[in-house]
Amino acid sequence: MSPHPQILAFDVFGTVVDWHGSIVRELAALAPAVDGPAFARAWRAGYQPAMQRVRSGERGWVALDTLHREILDGLLPRFGLQGLDEAARVQLNGVWHRLDPWPEVRAGLLRLRAGHTLCTLSNGNLGLLIDLARHGELPWHGVLSAEVFRAYKPDPRTYRGVAELFGLPPQAVMLVAAHEDDLAAARACGLQTAYIERPHEFGADAPKPVQGSPEDTLHARDLLQLADLLGA
């Protein structure tokens, strides 16, 4: 049996915050004629290819804010928004700092923090994650980012780095995420894992299948159910 995890490290985009719904709402105010769901999904689709250029060494370290802006600039003409001025582009790119948490998240985190140390483990840069915590009143004990390790998940340095920073063995850390590739990489580094269902991560009109979980991974509907499973 695995030991009770001391550290719960949370993926953020999709697991803790609703990036799709937040972008759709913000774009509706800026450009109501644009297909907001398609725009949000297209922006997100550029995320992994942009990070892969950093992972592969094709380019040096670049913070996610910069990658988001580069993806955005390339995306705007596809949606007829190439006329947006610089101020409007800066404002829109900042939506990633204003993403709303899923409805149960804050209550779930408040329960979980009573018996665990809570931190983020996200590809978002530190300033972004701190802004999200303030925006959503997220009660983290600490904020960890790929920026700390100068490596984007699923680089093993990110997962092992959490344990090393806390001076603990990997099995004392549990990654909480809604993405099986993230969880599989964490398990390969010796971390415990918990899968959170987020079927509407890409919007209610594009539900994603709920993944089955390996026996050594907790499977929870949301963070409140995870608190139940961990006895919080």
Cα 156 off chain centre by: 17
> What is the dihedral sign for C-alpha 126, 69, 81, 52?
negative
Cα-atom radius of gyration of the chain, to the nearest Å?
A: 18
How far is the C-alpha of 125 from the C-alpha of 21, rounded, in Å? 21
The full DSSP string for 194-215 is: EEE--TTTT-TTSPPPPPP--T
CATH 3.40.50.1000 region(s) of the chain? Answer: 7-18+99-229
Pick the CATH number of 19-97 from 1.10.150.240, 3.30.479.10, 3.40.50.2300, 3.90.1150.110: 1.10.150.240
CATH class of residue range 7-18+99-229: alpha beta
* Tokens matching residue 214: 């390996």
How far is the C-alpha of 146 from the C-alpha of 12, rounded, in Å? 12
Burial of 222 (0-12, 13-18, 19+ CB in 10 A): middle
In order along its 232 residues, the chain shows pLDDT tens digits of: 577 999 999 999 999 999 999 999 999 999 999 999 999 999 999 999 999 999 999 999 999 999 999 999 999 999 999 999 999 999 999 999 999 999 999 999 999 999 999 999 999 999 999 999 999 999 999 999 999 999 999 999 999 999 999 999 999 999 999 999 999 999 999 999 999 999 999 999 999 998 788 888 999 999 999 999 999 8
CATH 1.10.150.240 region(s) of the chain? Answer: 19-97
- Confidence at residue 118, expressed as pLDDT on a 0 to 100 scale: 98
> For the segment 112-149, what is each residue's pLDDT rounded down to a tens digit?
999 999 999 999 999 999 999 999 999 999 999 999 99
- Confidence at residue 192, expressed as pLDDT on a 0 to 100 scale: 98
